[in-house]
Amino acid sequence: MQNNISTVLKNLGILDLNPAFSTGNNWGALTAAITIDSVSPVDGKKIARVQVATAEDYETVIKKASAAFLFWRNLPAPKRGDIIRQFAEALRKNKEDLGTLVSYEMGKSLQEGFGEVQEMIDICDFAVGLSRQLYGLTMHSERPSHRMYEQWHPLGIVGIISAFNFPVAVWSWNAALAWVCGNVCIWKPSEKTPLTAIACQHIIAAVFKANGVPEGVSNLITGDKEVGELMTNDTRVPLISATGSTRMGKAVAVAVGARLGKSLLELGGNNAIIISEHADLDMSLIGAVFGAVGTAGQRCTSTRRLIIHESVYDVFTAKLIKAYGQLRIGDPLDQHNHVGPLIDKAAVNAYLDSIEKCKAEGGKFVVEGGLLAGPQYASGCYVKPCIAAVKNDYQIVQHETFAPILYLIKYKTLDEAIALQNGVPQGLSAAIMTLNLREAEQFLSASGADCGIANVNIGTSGAEIGGAFGGEKETGGGRESGSDAWKAYMRRQTNTINYSNTLPLAQGIKFDL
């Protein structure tokens, strides 16, 4: 395994890098004395040691980024789009190696690792088209011989704080759109997955260099939350896009709000699928199981709750139990396995603690959980996906546990089911499985699901990049990726041009001299 990963690191050009920061082709660790280890949850082995950026390193990055913005903002948007197209081509060439590194460093299945790189390629393709569609509006002025319109300008430096569960895709959602809009980026990846970030920076730096782009358009700083706090408190960074827990997001929102900056927050989810009496149960099973155990339950869109109509509850529960009995848990680089490890032992402890809390509140486990033991599970990060019958108001059910724990809840009427779905603090993703058109439309109506993403006859995870991604309530309210999410990375400007030989005032005000 280690030999294979060494080859992957070599192919990605990062075997000998040990940076605290990067502004492009410049990789620096000039003043760093603290390091973090990248340890794979697959086998518990250290992959590499990465230095932590200091305040001095951060200042170097900020100055480079500020200077690069003066160049990048004036490059025509279609030209910026063409450079991003070249980045997508480089990702296509490196998809297998980068996807393998994502799988090994984070622990998700190899197919999901490849899929994450494909998401990067897809958002770059989206950004290329967007480069010719950064539209404003034209409005009619109330004053004669005046033209009024609006246009969009880049913000400047966009700070990106990403989480371990999607170590590269979510960065690219932000970076590709921010770049095509004329911004420059500073990326602080999760301290648990720094190598995938270094690999991405290495790839994009080569593309920028080939196009004569100065250092500082794409920047990377590695480290823990103190490094991220340098960005969130910096008035030179007008937008912070942060992905992570609700607790983290609240801290970011306070820091950025205190300086009247902008924040784009993608936080926790507590997502439910309603299984209607009118559902195709076999199709529903696929969506429910993948949603619950994909990425070992470590997606913000993971299915946490199944709200099942009482008439099909027993039948569907039996299907779930049988399906869980067929899950293969193990090395995620083995494509025969369905479920890999949790990210680290702290995540395992949170999983075990949640199981005990569920039992203490009255939860009845129909599929038991627990830690897996054996030579193939030597990292101590492999757990059993489990299922518990609960009530929606249990405190532990109201909480997001980033692990493969699935809660079952009965309902009688659709109004009750929607109320149960909405009855949690989070509001990211929801779904209903039904062949009844009226039920589907009610679920999607204003009186239906209160989430940012609501699906019919597909699960809660697996969002496409073409739609805006994000949620409401404690999920943060941000929107990334498709649709008009690009507007979050720009400032709106309203312009009025007077082409007459007089100066009429608005609202008919007279001011004669």
The residues carrying an active-site annotation are 266, 300
| 470 vs 485: CA distance, rounded Å | 10
Tokens 């739609």 correspond to what residue? 467
476 in Cβ contact with 470 (< 8 Å)? yes
Which phi and psi angles does 286 have, rounded to 5°?
Answer: -60, -50
| 139 vs 359: CA distance, rounded Å | 61
108 in Cβ contact with 102 (< 8 Å)? yes
| 389 vs 320: CA distance, rounded Å | 12
Token pair belonging to 390: 């609960």
Other CB atoms within a 10 A radius of the CB of residue 26 amount to 15
Report the alpha-carbon angle 27-187-45, nearest 5. Answer: 70
488 in Cβ contact with 478 (< 8 Å)? yes
456 in Cβ contact with 434 (< 8 Å)? yes
217 in Cβ contact with 251 (< 8 Å)? no
User: 98 vs 106, 135, 210, 337, 481, CA distance in Å?
Assistant: 12, 34, 21, 20, 21
Among residues 389, 360, 53, the alpha carbon closest in space to that of 226 is found at 53
Torsion of CA 488, 66, 199, 93, to 10 degrees: 70
All residues at 6 or more sequence positions from 391 whose CB lies less than 8 Å from its CB, including other chains? 362, 397, 409
| 476 vs 465: CA distance, rounded Å | 19
| 9 vs 195: CA distance, rounded Å | 9
